[in-house]
Chain A
Amino acid sequence: MKSRKTVLWIRLGSGLAVPFLVAGLLAPFASSKPDGLERVAADLGFSEKAAPDMWTTPLSGYSVAGVDQPILAVGLAGVLGTALTSLCAIGIGRWRTRAKETVPTRNGRE
């Protein structure tokens, strides 16, 4: 008999398949056209106002540094970012729902 919690975490595992597939397999084939703001900045002539990045990481620009194959570099960056995002969001969610448990209930328990 699996507990309700176990079931939830199994669902989490299976549900995460979609974002990982999107990041790993679709993202490398995304359109490289400028996005809406980049397009406007180019058309209206303020692109050059963009400041250089304050720092870079091995994931900068959605491409893993040192991986020569572009499709692989982007897919890998996507998978790593997806993992990082899910961990952060679940961490925040658990932190906030646990904070709730310390709030006294109406009938004075807890």
Chain B
Amino acid sequence: MHIPDGFLDTKTWVSLTAVSAAGVAIALEKARTELDESKVPLVGITAAFLFAAQMVNFPVAGATSGHLNGGVLSAILFGPWVAVLIMATVNFIQAVFFQDGGITALGANLLNMGFVTSFLGYGLYRLFAGAGSRVIRRIGIFAAAWTAVVASSAAAALELAVSGTVPLGIALKAMVGWHSLIGIGEGIVTVTVLRYLTERKAVWNLSADRERGQAL
């Protein structure tokens, strides 16, 4: 759901660019304490994986297509602030080098696909992370990933409506409708990748982070 240039009016994209820029500045500061040096290689792999996975659109209901967002996956692995930096890296490269998402819409896109997914998904994940049952934890991760994608699409609909591009009601209905299907893919991929990494937890030093590692 990368918004191109032209869909957002000036007041909207300027405000959202300012909000995202401020958020990235905070994230850079937070990363100093929240990112352990031993996790830097996995941050690089995750960002690269998300760039690659975002190229792989899967067909949805014969009418549209979706791809992984990865904000929730990153937030579970590294916490929401580092996740925002990963999403910012991916969205920036997509916009500047691949013309995927507008330059003026970069702030809005990062807000929707970085901040909303990372923070909302992480919050929901934490609700289930303490559950004793692995099945419940996995359902929690699926639900967090699905909800994050749907909320992200609702945020995009709101921005389009505020810009006067399309009325809010029909924008919300259409965006949330399709993304509630696309979000199923997000949930499946997020759970699958985390399962894979959990089985190799020691390799990636994930257990070093007790708070998050134990809940994977």
Contact = CB atoms under 8 A, between A and B. Distances in A.
Interface of A: 4, 8-9, 11-12, 15-16, 18-20, 22-23, 26-27, 30-41, 43-44, 46, 49-57, 59-62, 74, 77-78, 81-90, 92-94, 96-97, 99-100, 103
A44 B132 CA distance: 46
B37 to A, nearest CB: 4
Nearest to B180: A36
A27 to B, nearest CB: 4
**A interface majority secondary structure:** helix
Contact of A61 (B36, B67, B99): B99
Interface in B106-160: 153, 156, 160
B22 interface: no
A49 B103 CA distance: 15
Given A81-B51, A92-B31, A92-B89, 9 more contacts: A35-B2, A36-B175, A36-B178, A37-B153, A44-B174, A57-B96, A62-B98, A90-B43, A97-B40
Contacts of B156: 37
Contacts of B28: 92, 96
Please list the 3 inter-chain residue pairs (A to B) with the smallest Cβ-Cβ separation, ordered nearest first. A51-B6, A89-B47, A12-B41
A103 B33 CA distance: 10
A30 B2 CA distance: 17
Given A11-B204, A27-B56, A36-B153, A96 B98 contact: no
Contacts of A11: 41, 203-204
B25 interface: no
Contacts, number: 211
Nearest to A58: B97
B80 interface: no
A4 B36 CA distance: 14
A37 B67 CA distance: 12
A100 B32 contact: yes
Given A9-B41, A93-B35, A86 B48 contact: yes
17 contacts: A20-B48, A27-B52, A32-B65, A36-B64, A36-B66, A36-B182, A39-B64, A40-B175, A50-B4, A53-B99, A57-B96, A81-B52, A85-B93, A89-B85, A89-B86, A94-B40, A100-B35
Given A11-B41, A60-B98, A33 B166 contact: no
B38 interface: yes
Contact of B64 (A9, A16, A26, A33): A33
A92 B4 CA distance: 26
A86 B52 CA distance: 11
B19 interface: no
Given A23-B55, A82-B52, A54 B93 contact: no
